[in-house]
Amino acid sequence: MPEGDTIFRAARTLHRALAGRTVTRFESVFPRLTRIDHDRPLRGRTIDRVEARGKHLLIHFSGDLVLRTHMRMHGSWHIYRPGERWQRPRHQMRIVIETGVIDAVAFDVPVAEFATNAQLARTPALRDLGPDLLAADFDADEAIRRVEQRREMSIADALLDQRAIAGIGNIYKNEALFVARVHPFDRVESLPRDTIEKIVVTAATLMRANVREGMRGGMTARTTTRRGDSSSRYWVYERSGKPCRRCGSVIQRSKQGPDARSTYWCSRCQLPTL
């Protein structure tokens, strides 16, 4: 599933390509979207802005209409010049927004809906989101408070709960806990507040470094080690059985949580709470 930084960069790219342009054609395979387009046509509307909220991407059109999409595991947005060959097959297309200058195409997006701004504010998927790590007004204290409320959860599972903190996925869960030197299976109630604060600040720092302007690799590059070698991008993520980059111990891996997500950690650098 794309992490919050991927959605943030995608929204920024779409905003730069589409904001201020007028829709000339809309197409979708989703009947619920084409029904809205029939009743309240997209053609002729201006694209006001594109933004990310956690892992949700929002395209705002004039006339109080917003398209919300969620990528889940395999979805993505692409931009093309009119007539340019798509990089993915047409049968994977879910949404097309044409402006006469730039076409935006959503592939394999499983979640998509139109809403007014008032309806969007009442949508549970957005209404219940925790503070967004990449938002300009990110409230770290509120994020810490929400994590602390999940006392009986493991800290790794608490970080993945989008109602606690929006934007963290499995990569940043693993990487932030390693950098903060916290064992992923520690229960939240066993961790002092300053440790939770360190984890939250670390996650925010890692994610924000990967959305800065001018970063190498365009929309998809990511690193938490700050090393240029593509094989050295991560500290522990997907490195089970390999030596820890800090101490040389073997990186461990185990399934964790209700969704059996892979968790990686160093048994020497990340000692469990006694």
What is the pLDDT tens value at each position of the chain, 274 positions in all?
Answer: 679 999 999 999 999 999 999 999 999 999 999 999 999 999 999 999 999 999 999 999 999 999 999 998 889 999 999 999 999 999 999 999 999 999 999 999 999 999 999 999 999 999 999 999 999 999 999 999 999 999 999 999 999 999 999 999 999 999 999 999 999 999 999 999 999 999 999 999 999 999 986 554 443 458 899 876 777 899 999 999 999 999 999 999 999 988 899 999 999 999 998 6
Tokens 């939770």 belong to: 196
pLDDT at 214: 58
Phi/psi of residue 103, nearest 5 degrees: -105, 135
Cα separation of 125 and 123, whole Å? 6
Helical axes 193-209 vs 140-149, angle rounded to 10°: 130
Tokens 């493991």 belong to: 154
56-61 and 47-53 strand pairing:
antiparallel
Catalytic residue numbers, as ranges: 2-3, 55
pLDDT at 93: 97
Nearest one of 99, 25, 19, 30 to 60, comparing CA atoms? 19
Fold of 140-234: Helicase, Ruva Protein; domain 3 (1.10.8)
pLDDT at 259: 87
> Which residue spans of the chain are classified as CATH 3.20.190.10?
4-127
Cα separation of 20 and 66, whole Å? 15
Amino acid, single-letter form, for residue 103: D
pLDDT at 178: 98
pLDDT at 219: 39
- The CATH class given to the 4-127 domain equals alpha beta
User: Residue 155 in contact with residue 188, Cβ under 8 Å?
Assistant: yes
Cα separation of 67 and 40, whole Å? 13
> Which residue spans of the chain are classified as CATH 1.10.8.50?
140-234
Strand partners, 80: 103
User: Residue 162 in contact with residue 54, Cβ under 8 Å?
Assistant: yes
pTM: 0.91
pLDDT at 263: 97
pLDDT at 1: 64
